[in-house]
């Protein structure tokens, strides 16, 4: 599974923000460095991944970064799909409509104040207005709509993981958007519109800055910013989110079985308190106690072939089952 993960999940842009002397360094190997306008390095203990992250202060001159404008995000999405992911937080010092990112055109041909046809931005912001005091909002301009995320459980000043995935044009699910926050799918193909290709000299791929000068400044931080030239599946997002636990927090003395190598440490001791008879009975009764299925591509024949999710275990939460794979040789349910 590890080989599959690294093979499938290869970002085309990867800002780790680990190097204080080269904060916008691209670790993807593609040299799409970010340009830094005043943002500062924060040390690893304040960050989510690796040895550092970037900090944006709202006091004084606007601090932000730009993604390399050689990238034509519109064409990438149209041809192969695109995903943007990062860890981020904002403090209450952030202004109205402070941005996590705002990707769009910079002048009147591709940008038009007040809305209108010549507007091709897609952006993710914390409005913090009287109308939307505790919401995050994803806006897709060009007459294309917006998507609001209730912010109540995504408390300001704490780190959260965000994934924005748009499928390519011309497929069955063409141009559909999916959004995950902390590995929870908060937008399940809830919107469909492709991105527009913008000429290079008009591209403004802003991180932590708005294209609208009236908007407030961002006060907060970001870590592990990535762009993929593909839409991600739920499994790939789960792996992406768990990388943090794998590399930083979860550092066992012995290597776990690869079936649950990305399991959060808090779940390692979860136990299935039911037998296969219970599982089958529960499924036949359709009483929402268990779900199960085949492992598909993740299957190791004769060892790990099926998964079971239980709504009744100690580790399960209301509407949020806890899942196991069944070890066919040891006849054991193993937390997954």
Name the residue among 174, 166, 23 with its Cα closest to residue 103.
Answer: 166
In terms of CB distance, is 111 or 159 closer to Ca ion? 159
> CB under 5 A: which stretch of 50-58, 64-72, 281-289, 326-334 binds Ca ion?
50-58
Name the residue among 247, 239, 295 with its Cα closest to residue 83.
Answer: 239
Q: Minimum CB separation from Ca ion for residue 17, in Å?
A: 5
* Total residues at interface with Ca ion (CB under 5 A): 7
DSSP-derived secondary structure for 58-110? -SSS--EEE--TT--HHHHHHHH-EEEEEEEEE-TT--TTEEEEEEEE-STTT
Return the number of other C-beta atoms located less than 10 Å from residue 83's C-beta.
25
Name the residue among 27, 4, 7 with its Cα closest to residue 223.
Answer: 27
Please identify which residue in 33, 49, 218, 236 interacts with Ca ion, judged by CB under 5 A. Answer: 49
Name the residue among 75, 2, 70, 82 with its Cα closest to residue 31.
Answer: 70
Are 101 and 208 a contacting pair, CB within 8 Å?
Answer: yes
> CB under 5 A: which stretch of 30-38, 48-56, 293-301, 303-311 binds Ca ion?
48-56
Helix (H) or strand (E) holding 321: none
Q: Minimum CB separation from Ca ion for residue 159, in Å?
A: 11
> CB under 5 A: which stretch of 12-20, 154-162, 211-219, 241-249 binds Ca ion?
12-20
Does position 161 interact with Ca ion (CB under 5 A)? The reply is no
Does position 223 interact with Ca ion (CB under 5 A)? The reply is yes
Q: Minimum CB separation from Ca ion for residue 224, in Å?
A: 6
> CB under 5 A: which stretch of 43-51, 57-65, 161-169, 319-327 binds Ca ion?
43-51
Q: Which of residues 59-118 bind Ca ion (CB under 5 A)?
A: none
Interface residues with Ca ion (CB under 5 A) are 16-18, 49-50, 53, 223
């Amino acid at each position: 599974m590890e080989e599959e993960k690294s093979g499938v999940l290869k970002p085309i842009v990867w800002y780790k923000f680990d190097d204080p002397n080269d904060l916008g360094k691209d670790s993807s190997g593609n040299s799409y460095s970010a340009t830094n306008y005043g943002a500062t390095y924060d040390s690893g203990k304040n960050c989510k991944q690796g040895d550092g992250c970037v900090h944006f202060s709202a006091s004084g001159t606007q601090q932000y970064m730009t993604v390399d404008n050689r990238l034509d995000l519109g064409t990438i999405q149209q041809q192969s799909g695109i995903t943007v992911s990062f860890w981020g937080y904002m403090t209450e010092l952030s202004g109205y409509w402070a941005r996590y990112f705002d990707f769009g055109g910079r002048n009147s041909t591709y940008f038009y104040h007040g809305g209108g046809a010549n507007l091709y931005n897609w952006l993710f912001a914390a409005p913090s207005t009287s109308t939307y005091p505790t919401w995050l909002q994803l806006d897709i301009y060009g007459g294309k709509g917006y998507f609001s995320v209730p912010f109540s459980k995504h408390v300001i000043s704490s780190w959260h993981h965000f994934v924005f995935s748009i499928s390519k044009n011309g497929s069955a699910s063409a141009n559909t958007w999916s959004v995950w926050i902390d590995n929870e799918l908060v937008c399940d193909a809830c919107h469909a519109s492709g991105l527009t290709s913008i000429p290079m000299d008009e591209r403004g791929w802003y991180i932590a800055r708005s294209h609208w000068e009236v908007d407030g400044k961002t006060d907060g931080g970001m870590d592990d910013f990535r762009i993929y030239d593909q839409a991600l599946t739920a499994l790939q997002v789960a792996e992406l989110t768990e990388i943090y636990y794998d590399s930083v927090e979860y550092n066992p003395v012995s290597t776990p079985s690869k079936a649950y190598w990305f399991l959060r440490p808090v779940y390692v001791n979860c136990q299935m308190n039911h037998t296969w008879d219970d599982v089958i009975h529960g499924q036949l009764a359709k009483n929402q106690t268990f779900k199960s299925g085949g492992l598909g591509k993740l299957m190791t024949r004769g060892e790990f072939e099926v998964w079971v999710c239980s709504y009744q275990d100690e580790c399960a939460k209301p509407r949020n089952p806890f899942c196991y794979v069944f070890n066919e040789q040891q006849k054991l349910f193993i937390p997954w």
